[in-house]
């Protein structure tokens, strides 16, 4: 064929070189030469392999990571676990500290204490003591015009504002005969019960009313099983309190997450199948293109097994190289999608590498079987005659 050695060697020299060379090298050389000589065909087969592996890697990475990403989005819905003191009492003073020690510092726990105070006009209004810094992190949906930053400032719900301080003047509240004078710092709008309440800093609230926190709202990160585990741990640690998951939040999250996961899974399967088809189509061309090599090998006395093994090794080599390159490209694609869509990088998962590699090799081998069996049925003489 078109590749003749540059200088002709005497049969003795050739025999010497062959004797020196390790026996396996002929097989390896044929593999390598085939790839180098038919660069374009090899490149297109490799490209198909790389794309398939890259897409598969990206999908697997996303499939695992998107759920974690969506879970963090769902934490914007606020607390998914609530700790309430039993029978209207207060929680023990160290409750917040023990919640944090059980769940670790990463979890957000916000204390709330409640009292019903009276306005000078005799209206009842619910006053809540809390930690503003924590509440702000937990309840992203609170629309607040200005968070309190000075002593004796209060955050006033939209509807409460019209009762206690219509023109944003300082106002007075009384609780069991004790009066306090508060300045409105900002307005709070949530559309729910918070709109009728007045929020104070916890220590000021406690100085005034003497009421300690009765509720702790906790945002626990993680899967449903992890959250339930945290609930059990907390219940063991705080026997005097009721620890319960917020079902509204937990079930909504599970619902949306399950559907998204199923859709993602279906799409990933379809895409991986399509990519495998792409590899199949290319490899058929690639093997068909090599039919003359196949015929010559057989004509020179190679056994059926050797020829099939040779093509299989070629396909496997293609699968390995394509799988490795595709894996890294796929990780890049997943990271890009993470950045574009979730504004956070997708952590590369090297644990999927063996699956991608083995999957690539299997797809390549399966794709090669079809054309090889097709060729096996044809006589080498027919191929060599160019028919």
Partner 1 sequence: MFSRLVYESFRHQTRRKLLAGIAITMGVAVATAMIAVATDIGDKINRELRSYGANLVVTPQEDTLDVEVGGINLKPPSDGAFLNEADLPKIRGTFWHNNIVGFSPMLPVTVKVGNDSKDVTLVGTYFNKALSFGKQDFTTGVRITHPWWKVEGSCRDGRRAPPGRIEDFQGGCGWPSDDSQNILVGERLATKLEKKAGDKLEVSGRELTISGILSTGGAEDDQIVAPLALVQQIIGKPGAVRRVYVSALTKPQDALAVRDPKTMSPEVYDRWYCSPYVESIAYQLQEVIPHSHAEQIRQVAQNEGTVLSRIKGLMLLITFAALFASALAVSAAMATAIYERRVEVGLMKALGAGNLAVSAIFFAEALLLAIVGGIAGFSAGALLARQIGRSIFDSQISVEPVLFPIIIAIAVFVTFAGSAAAIRGAVKFDPVFALRGEG
331 lies in the site for partner 1, by CB under 8 A: no
What is the rounded distance in angstroms from the CA atom of residue 364 to the CA atom of residue 12? 40
Residues 6+ apart with CB under 8 A from 267: 59
What is the rounded distance in angstroms from the CA atom of residue 62 to the CA atom of residue 327? 13
Among the residue ranges 29-37, 67-75, 92-100, 355-363, the one whose residues contact partner 1 (CB under 8 A): 67-75
Q: Could you tell me which residues are beta bridge partners of residue 113?
A: 129
Residue with Cβ nearer partner 1 (30 or 277): 277
CB of 25 to partner 1, least distance (A): 28
Check the CA dihedral 319-321-325-331 and report its sign: positive
62 lies in the site for partner 1, by CB under 8 A: yes
Among the residue ranges 18-26, 51-59, 96-104, 351-359, the one whose residues contact partner 1 (CB under 8 A): 51-59
Residue with Cβ nearer partner 1 (21 or 381): 381
* Positions 202 through 261 that interact with partner 1 (CB under 8 A): 214-215, 242, 244-252, 255-256, 259-260
What is the rounded distance in angstroms from the CA atom of residue 38 to the CA atom of residue 56? 27
277 lies in the site for partner 1, by CB under 8 A: yes
Supply the DSSP symbol for 109.
E
89 lies in the site for partner 1, by CB under 8 A: no
CB of 48 to partner 1, least distance (A): 6
DSSP states along 281-332: HHHHHHHHHTHHHHHHHHHTT--HHHHHHHHHHHHHHHHHHHHHHHHHHHHH
For the chain, what percentages of helix, strand and coil (3-state, to nearest 5) are there? 60, 15, 25
Residue with Cβ nearer partner 1 (32 or 344): 344
DSSP states along 6-25: SS---HHHHHHHHHHS-TTH
285 lies in the site for partner 1, by CB under 8 A: yes
* Positions 96 through 135 that interact with partner 1 (CB under 8 A): 114, 116, 123-126
CB of 60 to partner 1, least distance (A): 13
CB of 365 to partner 1, least distance (A): 18
Residue with Cβ nearer partner 1 (288 or 350): 288
The neighbour count for residue 13, using CB atoms within 10 Å, is 11
CA 354 to chain centre: 19
74 lies in the site for partner 1, by CB under 8 A: yes
* Positions 336 through 365 that interact with partner 1 (CB under 8 A): 337, 340-342
* Positions 141 through 200 that interact with partner 1 (CB under 8 A): 141-143, 159-160, 163, 189-193, 195-196
Residue with Cβ nearer partner 1 (201 or 253): 253
The two beta strands, 81-85 and 215-219, are antiparallel
* Positions 290 through 319 that interact with partner 1 (CB under 8 A): 292
């Amino acid at each position: 064929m078109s590749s003749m050695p540059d200088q002709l060697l005497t049969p003795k020299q050739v025999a010497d070189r062959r004797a020196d060379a390790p026996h396996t090298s002929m097989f390896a050389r044929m593999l390598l030469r085939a790839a180098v000589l038919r660069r374009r065909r090899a490149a297109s087969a490799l490209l198909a392999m790389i794309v398939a592996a890259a897409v598969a890697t990206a999908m697997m990475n996303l499939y695992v990571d998107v759920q974690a990403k969506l879970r963090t989005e769902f934490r914007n819905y606020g607390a998914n676990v609530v700790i309430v003191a039993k029978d209207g009492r207060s929680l023990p003073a160290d409750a917040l500290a023990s919640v944090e020690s059980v769940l670790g510092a990463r979890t957000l726990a916000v204390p709330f204490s409640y009292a019903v105070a009276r306005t000078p006009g005799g209206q009842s209004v619910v006053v809540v003591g809390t930690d503003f810094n924590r509440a702000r992190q937990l309840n992203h949906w609170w629309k607040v015009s200005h968070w309190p930053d000075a002593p004796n400032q209060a955050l006033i719900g939209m509807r409460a504002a019209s009762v206690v301080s219509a023109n944003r003047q300082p106002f007075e509240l009384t609780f069991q005969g004790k009066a306090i004078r508060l300045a409105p710092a900002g307005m709070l709008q949530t559309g729910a019960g918070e709109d009728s309440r007045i929020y104070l800093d916890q220590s000021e609230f406690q100085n005034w009313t003497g009421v300690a926190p009765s509720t702790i709202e906790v945002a626990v990160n993680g899967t449903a099983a992890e959250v339930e585990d945290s609930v059990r741990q907390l219940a063991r640690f705080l026997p005097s309190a009721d620890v319960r998951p917020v079902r509204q939040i937990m079930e909504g999250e599970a619902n949306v997450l399950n559907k998204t996961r199923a859709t993602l899974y279906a799409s990933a399967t379809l895409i991986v199948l399509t990519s495998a088809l792409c590899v199949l189509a290319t490899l058929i061309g690639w093997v068909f293109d090599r039919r003359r090599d196949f015929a010559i090998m057989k004509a020179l006395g190679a056994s059926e097994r050797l020829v099939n093994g040779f093509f299989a090794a070629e396909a496997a080599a293609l699968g390995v190289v394509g799988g490795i390159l595709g894996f890294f490209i796929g990780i890049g694609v997943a990271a890009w999608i993470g950045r574009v869509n979730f504004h956070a990088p997708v952590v590369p998962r090297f644990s999927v590498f063996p699956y991608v590699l083995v999957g690539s090799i299997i797809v390549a081998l399966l794709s090669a079987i079809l054309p090889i069996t097709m060729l096996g049925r044809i006589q080498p003489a027919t191929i060599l005659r160019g028919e």
